[in-house]
Amino acid sequence: MYFEKDASLHDIQDEVVAVVGYGIQGKAFAANLRDSGVTVVVGNRDDDYRAAAVADGFDTRPIAEAVAAASTVLLLIPDEAHQEVYGTQIAPGLRAGDLFVLAHGFSLRYRRIALPQDIDVALLAPKMFGKPIRQRYTEGSGVLAFLDVVEDRTGRALRRTLGLAKAVGFTRYGVLPVSLATETELDLFQEQFLTPLLLDAFRTAFEVLVEAGCDPVPALLDMHASGEMAEMMVEAATTGLYEVIEEQGSPTCRFGVQKYLGTLLGPEVRDKGAQILAGIRNGDFVAELSREAQAGYPSLADYEAAYKAAAMTRTHDAYRAILGRP
């Protein structure tokens, strides 16, 4: 891994960094870079995010103008916008020797954008969403990030990317070399397998309890809404999944966990995981995503309607009302 001692801000001291997209990650990247003394220009279309960048005091321009003014370009807009924005507003402004950095490998892994042959290209993928990236930086720490040098035309691509990682605060925690293809597959697999699995587990536990006569609000709190489970998972990130049970759980807790561990998920779940990973790797998922996008994402509207009508969601709304929170 790369840490603070392995990176230097001197490697980017003469760079102008264009942060393309002032959304969830762009806001955090831009603020951290500026606080580290890096010259930042924000590129964003004319919307509320652009207004927020202006209000936050950034030199804010249309994307094409920001790219033209920069020697390093950080692409931080959603994957589905990459192809159109890159082709029309970024590619024309890239010059020989520029550094082009993505925070997710999706568009390169699935060849949705074609890069020129005379620029440096790198992946710098934080393993955390925007708010903690900023919060931990201001607290003097950072978050984990993956790094991959895809093209090194200047001979300085790694040093430049590590300089960016240091400026954003990633080297305070650690930056792990991971290939762009692996980063993409891991990210998509987590979204498509592990996250639905966890959501279904919480929903099933809640429904079992309520159907057995438990009051929905305490059931919701004990399953996840109290934050206890979330705190255990945060602790497990450093201690270990099994170890946190040993450290935090009573003998009654540990006995209950081990009694049913390994018995609740059948082989069909593992088989489904393998199928999902295969679809990510062979491009089936991307083809399906493209069809969904062309149709205007109808399944997302169906999903939103379903979860808003779910008993667990309604119970959480009721609990927030008890607390006087919107």
Catalytic machinery residues:
104
- CA nearest to 98, candidates 37, 41, 160: 160
Distances (CA, A) of 245 to 195, 206, 209: 21, 21, 23
| Rg of the Cα atoms in the chain | 22
Q: At what angle do helices 241-248 and 228-239 cross, to 10 degrees?
A: 120
Question: Residue 23 gets which letter from DSSP?
Answer: S
Q: Decide the pairing of beta strands 145-151 and 120-126.
A: antiparallel
Residue for token pair 């919701």: 220
SS3 119: coil
E strand or H helix that includes residue 245 = helix 241-248
Q: Is 65 annotated as a binding residue?
A: no
Q: Is 46 annotated as a binding residue?
A: no
What would the two tokens of residue 132 be? 């903690």
173 vs 53: CA distance, rounded Å: 27
249 Cβ contact partners less than 8 Å away, ≥ 6 residues apart: 257
264 vs 270: CA distance, rounded Å: 12
186 Cβ contact partners less than 8 Å away, ≥ 6 residues apart: 178
- CA nearest to 25, candidates 90, 110, 115, 101: 101
| Binding-site entries for Mg(2+) | 187, 191
| Binding-site entries | 187, 191
